[in-house]
Homo-oligomer: A and B are copies of this chain.
Amino acid sequence: MSKDSGFLCPVPILHHSNVQMAHGGGGRLMHDLIDSVFAQAFDNEWLAAHHDGAVGTPPPGRLAMTTDSYVVSPLFFRGGDIGRLAVCGTLNDLAMCGAMPYWLSAGFIIEEGFEIDTLRRIAHSMAETARHAGVPIVTGDTKVVDRGRGDGVYINTAGIGVITHDQVIGPGSVRPGDAIILSGDIGRHGIAVLSEREGLRFESPIESDCADLSPAVRSLMSAGIEIHCLRDLTRGGLGCALVEIAAGAGMSMTLDEVTIPVSQPVAAACEILGLDPLYIANEGRFITILPESETARALAALREDSNCSQAVVIGQVASGHAGLVTMTGRLGTGRVIDMPSGELLPRIC
């Protein structure tokens, strides 16, 4: 909220129920929108300072920074909404650096005519998710674009986090013999958004897995477990994430299909739709790559978090054949996991 008129309008009253172009113009209407929707929902000392940015002193440690924009369609789906997604997604990218989140920023690109009540619902969902994670949304921005030049609202979040350990987490730290742990069942987020969008009805409704992964990572860190790589399984799903890491590490991986948890409704939906759960996006699932000797302790630490109760070893890293990921199927046959060219499900995040 780079500009703010709280002092001028102690109790801002919005005279419009839909966003107008003038709400993005820098005048009184923009300040009213910011005050009555965003500042009210995110309420914290940094926004109250009415300045161009937030200022503070993070705890000692290395710093991590990440960003993502969110364009999910539709804005609301079973198990989440664009606001919850925008907060969890950036918290998760920080967690995947081994960082504990410190601050978030939020940038809104709103289409002219968008309902202010819906915007308020989204802001409250963001605020609730951020509050639950203990992370303030300290700075933000609002832009309005003409009707037909947006799709309701797009949200960008950026985040900074603090790394208090000395581990170097990333593909470059992966070693031959490392185990690959998956934190839970895959494919729910993509299928939940798709079914909302296409009006598909399944016998058991599928809920997005959208969740903050930082508690699970904090749990691994607190147990003092040696971690080589962490990666959340968003666009491209488990399949793309593993191929990328294998390529980045210059190694190969072998997976065991029967160990990979896929819920019955997701498996059924994928079969009907001709989709492979390996490539479906998740928003609350990640893999941990670590020395084989650490797996028992890591599984125990992960399973303390209710979101990771199904955590399981799904494969191993081997030397050579950079980027080759193979999977032994249910019938014992092998298959190469390739990176698809595109993605069958657009705008799932």
The interface of chain A, by Cβ under 8 A from chain B, is 2-8, 20-31, 49-58, 62-71, 93-94, 96-97, 99, 103, 105-109, 138-141, 143-146, 148-151, 154, 156, 158, 160-161, 163, 169-172, 231-232, 234-237, 240, 243-244, 247-248, 250, 279, 281, 322-323, 339-347, 349
**27 CB < 8 A contacts A-B:** A3-B240, A7-B322, A7-B323, A8-B243, A8-B323, A22-B342, A24-B235, A24-B343, A25-B235, A27-B339, A27-B343, A28-B339, A31-B244, A50-B244, A51-B171, A53-B96, A53-B99, A53-B161, A54-B65, A55-B63, A55-B97, A55-B163, A63-B63, A67-B156, A107-B156, A109-B109, A156-B156
Known: A52-B97, A53-B65. A236 touches B3 (CB 8 A): yes
Report whether B64 and A156 are in contact in the complex, using a CB–CB cutoff of 8 Å.
no
CB distance from A143 to the nearest CB of B (A): 5
Known: A8-B323, A281-B26. A2 touches B66 (CB 8 A): yes
Report whether A54 and B58 are in contact in the complex, using a CB–CB cutoff of 8 Å.
no
Report whether A141 and B67 are in contact in the complex, using a CB–CB cutoff of 8 Å.
yes
Q: Which residue of B lies closest to A231 (CB)?
A: B52
Q: Which residue of B lies closest to A323 (CB)?
A: B8
Q: A139 contacts which chain B residues (CB < 8 A)? A: 65-67
Q: A150 contacts which chain B residues (CB < 8 A)? A: 149-151
Q: A236 contacts which chain B residues (CB < 8 A)? A: 3, 25-27, 30
Copies in the complex: 2
Cα(A52)–Cα(B69), bound, Å: 14
Report whether B54 and A66 are in contact in the complex, using a CB–CB cutoff of 8 Å.
yes
Q: Can you name 14 extra interface pairs (CB under 8 A) apart from A24-B346, A53-B161, A71-B143? A: A4-B248, A8-B339, A21-B342, A24-B343, A25-B340, A26-B281, A28-B341, A28-B342, A49-B172, A53-B96, A56-B62, A63-B63, A65-B160, A145-B154
